[in-house]
Amino acid sequence: MTDLGIVNLTATEMVSGIKSKSFSARELMESHLEMIDLVNPKVNAIVTLHADLGIKGADLADKAVAKGDELGVLHGLPTAHKDLVLTKGIRTTFGSPLFANHIPDISSLIVERIQAAGAITIGKTNTPEFGAGSQTFNEVFGATLNPFDISKTCGGSSGGAAVALASRMLPIADGSDTGGSLRNPANFCNVVGFRPSPGRVPMYPSKVSWSPISVQGPMARTVQDCALMLAAISGPDRRVPISITDPGETFMNSLDREFKGTRIAWSRDLNGLPVDGRTTKVLESQKHVFSDIGCDVDDDEPDFKDADEVFLTWRGWGREINQGEYLRNNRDQLKDTMIWDIEQGVNLTGPQLGLAESKRTQLFQRMHEFMEKYEFLICPVSQRPPFDVAQKWITEINGVKMDNFISWMKSCYYITATGHPAISVPCGFTDEGLPVGVQIVGRYRDDFGVLQLAKAFEDRTGFCTNIPVVCE
């Protein structure tokens, strides 16, 4: 087996290969480090690298195999963590000059769980400043480039993670999602990004432990690998009040399922959002797949009234809590969109928050009723394909001007506002060769069901096997 063969395996196959001694964890690690040396200079996805930790960890992983120790579900897999999550002893910048040399003395819970499951931390993946926006660039590390066309953006904010996966530099990666940051970069880079139900992956530490807006979750090249990672990072934590009590082991069960007669709703534009024709063309070309696997497909969509207000209100509230002090003390070191973001929270009033909460409850109830009729909703991930990396954000789609730097992501953040699980799965390519994903939304807390349908779609289409040009 060549080195390229090893890095092109799925994460599930890699773990199996290490446990069966088909190859060693060190061989796997060295192969990934070689890919990083080859590809990362072209795309700037992994922004902090500790190869020594990788080799040391791989040797320990091999010793555990030799001794017959009990091995975790991610045993021996190289990984790098989004530069928004704390990593003990490893630089964590949040993509901000304010934290350019910050080295935490603790790790976030998701990092601890990934490591406890046997994965080996080798560094950090790029993200925009404090994760603001679906375009991955910052003043510390610069921009991360799309591996299918380096003149284009990879999306964000988990852009470094998506690129590292697509480019075969990592087999698994963690990300986070407020307005689409797990889904959008996966969609732009032909990988899988899953926004789980709030509380499925407990977030600790956090200043807003009761909030369902921001979540952490898995990214990988296949749906099965996302489930594998979710088995490691999900499960309750008593320090997180909204954490779901289901054990992580749930996601080790088979994802295979019969879908005959399953009702799904197909939405082209989520109540009239402007969607680029190239995106629509790709999605419509694969609509038949859901019918082919037995689903009853209806053109229908929920009522997303007030979703925009709900999301922007609670996003602003979270921004002020988490980054308000930087606006007050270091305004001149923040990018303009970050300033705007935080100010949305600064300017909120008590009645505005109360009204937003009332509208969020009503939105959830409408979505719940809709999802009682349909088991799944299928819709666009992003409202257009990847755009020029020099463009900070999309200002117009189909002649409709965007209100702000995240308006072009409503197709993602409307779903955030409802609290339902959603996944981005590779769906095809535009005529220019740019990836497009499809968004599958499930019933409240039916994360497993979402993974099942996503895998069935993936099995029929196989787009996940496409290798980006930067790997050639």
Distance CA 163, CA 186 (A): 8
Burial of 325 (0-12, 13-18, 19+ CB in 10 A): exposed
What residue type is assigned to position 244 of the chain? I
CA distance 23 to 46: 25
Report residue 44 as tokens: 């700037």
- Catalytic entry in 181, 211, 234, 382: 181
- Please say if 181 is a catalytic residue: yes
Q: Is 152 assigned a catalytic role?
A: no
Q: Which amino acid is at 336?
A: D
Is the CA virtual torsion 182, 392, 48, 436 positive or negative?
A: positive
Long-range CB contacts for residues 51-55, cutoff 8 Å, separation at least 24: 51/122, 53/120, 53/121, 53/122, 54/29, 54/78, 54/120, 54/122, 55/26, 55/29, 55/30
d(CA 67, CA 448): 34
Asked if residue 464 lies in contact with residue 192, where contact means CB atoms within 8 angstroms, the answer is yes
Selecting among 82, 124, 410, 455, the annotated active-site residue is 82
Identify the CA nearest to 296 among candidates 374, 366, 372: 374
Whether 82 is a known active-site residue: answer: yes
Contacts of 437 (CB under 8 A, 6+ apart): 183, 186, 187, 188, 190, 193, 381, 382, 424, 425, 426, 427
Q: Which of 134, 157, 211, 411 is catalytic?
A: 157
**Which residues are annotated as catalytic?**
82, 157, 181
